[in-house]
Amino acid sequence: MSAVAFTRLLAAACWRESVTWWSLRSFLVTLIIGQSVAPLLGLLVWSSALPAARGVTSYYLALTAVQLLTVSFEHHTLSNTIYDGTFADRLVRPQPPLLEVVAANLAIRLWYGIFGLPAVVALAAAAGALPRASALAAAAGSLLLAMALRFCLTCAPALSAFWTERAHGAVSLMETLLFLLGGVAVPLALLPGAAGETARLLPFWSALGAPAEIASGEVAGLAVTRVLLIQAGWLLLLAGMLGLVWRRGIRRFAAVGG
């Protein structure tokens, strides 16, 4: 399939998914609030514990925005279709089997941004913590990489549905690691030297905290390039692992009779 044909199919699928999620907008607002709770609680905790700490407010508000724009639900949009057998229908369609999964991912993030970002911007304006334009521009590339990384980190454990009925638990474990090591539970800038540097080398921070630190000005200059290189390296590795899990899972699904 050519790139042009794939782009057209993806655009059409994104439109369908967007319309579907628009009909569930009340549910969307509930989901957005749920996704925003953890970083906003982190903001309350750390701004109270360390009132003199520099950049805590701007960091957590940026992290809230990143959380909304990188959210992934492949344990629902993919794992559930494997469990109920409807995934087999996607294998016989003249399009990539994961097309609708990617489209749903993009559509959900679109509506999260439309409904959630204005509230985050309003909070940042009220707190006097709006990021500089230069910092936002520097964070744009990091955010795109984080979006792809978050998808890989969620989709890979979601594909464990080919082997086990506990794919939701595997994704929950990944979400817990993102919470603990991605910069939500504690900003990595507050961790002592070696601990903070080690955590920054892990994929969890690259998928969540990295663009937030860049947008809030905690990472700047040549350090941004280093972060982008780390993110790109993890994306290549995780995309390769995702492809491997996918190929083995498809073989198992077909062998079982799917």
CB atoms within 10 A of CB 57: 18
Per-residue pLDDT of the chain (258 residues; tens, 9 = 90+): 677 777 888 899 899 999 988 888 888 899 999 999 999 999 999 988 887 677 899 999 999 999 999 999 999 889 999 888 888 888 888 888 889 999 999 999 999 999 999 999 999 999 888 999 999 999 999 999 999 999 999 999 999 999 988 999 999 999 999 999 999 999 998 888 788 889 999 999 999 999 999 999 888 888 899 999 999 999 999 999 999 999 999 888 765 554
Domain count of the fold of the chain: 1
pTM for the whole structure = 0.92
| DSSP helix/strand/coil, 189 | helix
* CA 73/CA 81 separation, integer angstroms: 13
* CA 55/CA 13 separation, integer angstroms: 40
Q: Are 55 and 216 in contact (CB under 8 A)?
A: yes
Distances (CA, A) of 62 to 8, 143, 213: 32, 11, 8
By residue range, what is the domain housing residue 167?
3-256
Q: Tell whether the torsion through CA atoms of 112, 182, 164 and 168 is positive or negative.
A: negative
